[in-house]
Amino acid sequence: MPSLPLPLALIARLTPVAVLATAGWALSSGPESDATARPEASPSAAGPSASAPATEAESKAYEAAPAPCTAVAAKTVASLVPGAKPAGKEIPSTDTAVRRTCSWNALKGYDYRWLDVSFEVLKSEEAAKKSYTDRVTDRSGGGTVPGVGDAGYSVVNLTTEDGQQTREGTVLVRASNALVVITFNGSDFETKKAPSTDEINKGAIRTAKEAVAALTADG
């Protein structure tokens, strides 16, 4: 396999890691979709799922964020991010009890994949509901993810920069007073095409289910 210089899209993709190391934590270490991004509804698209009102304004089931790098099985990482180190890399956080993020990324041949798992524990269930609703609103065009947490939502976007496509999926899950955010994207630097919507969406949802299970077990 001939060696190639890193494509501009890959260099741009790696930049947020340095930013996060300074700032602590962000919703996703992946690039935010620009004005050319095209929302692609997931197979379950039906709008954000509703959740029942909390019985207590300050109800909370989780006190701290779990370890994100052990929240996903090694076989899942190997399947979604071929060539990545199973241990992943935890992004520095200003408060690990509240926010923790782990990233896996690898370029195998010409195929590039990036996976983030993030946990955020808020002060109350009501605060988590508001944050979840705000984030879903900012990422319109997706659909509900049934059977995960108290509310789940997924959206997939396609961006093109200098002729190179990148498809990125985001899954947001609220479980009581905690939020789980999954970001999964990929590019093929040989064909300039991106993985299918189905591949990205299913990979992100699979990761979300494992992350929520880890949160529940830890809590």
Read off the pLDDT of residues 180-206 as tens digits, 9 standing for 90 and up. 999 999 999 999 999 999 999 999 999
| CATH topology (fold) of 8-218 | Protein Transport Mog1p; Chain A (3.40.1000)
- The pLDDT value given to residue 3: 43
pLDDT of 47 above 50:
no
Q: How far is CA 13 from the centre of its chain?
A: 14
- The pLDDT value given to residue 40: 55
Instruction: Give strand pairing partners of 149.
Output: none
User: d(Cα 125, Cα 56) in Å, to the nearest integer?
Assistant: 8
- Write the CA distances from 151 to 78, 159, 203, integer angstroms: 27, 27, 18
Least confident among 9-18, 111-120, 202-211: 9-18
Tokens describing residue 57:
């304004």
- The pLDDT value given to residue 59: 56
Region 44-62: what's the mean pLDDT?
51
pLDDT of 117 above 50:
yes
Higher-scoring residue by pLDDT: 5, 212: 212
- The pLDDT value given to residue 137: 95
Place of tokens 């705000």: 134
- Tell me the domain boundaries of the chain: 8-218
Region 104-130: what's the mean pLDDT?
97
- The pLDDT value given to residue 218: 75
Least confident among 23-37, 122-136, 171-185, 189-203: 23-37
- Residues ≥6 apart with Cβ < 8 Å to 123: 58, 60, 177
Helix (H) or strand (E) holding 70: none
- Residues ≥6 apart with Cβ < 8 Å to 159: 31, 33, 34, 36, 37, 38, 165, 166, 167, 168
Buried b (16+ CB within 10 A) or exposed e, 70-96: bbbeeebbeebbeebeeebebbebeeb
Confidence of residue 79 (pLDDT cuts 50, 70, 90): very high
Confidence of residue 116 (pLDDT cuts 50, 70, 90): very high
pLDDT of 217 above 60:
yes
pLDDT of 172 above 80:
yes
In angstroms, the first-to-last Cα distance of the chain is: 46
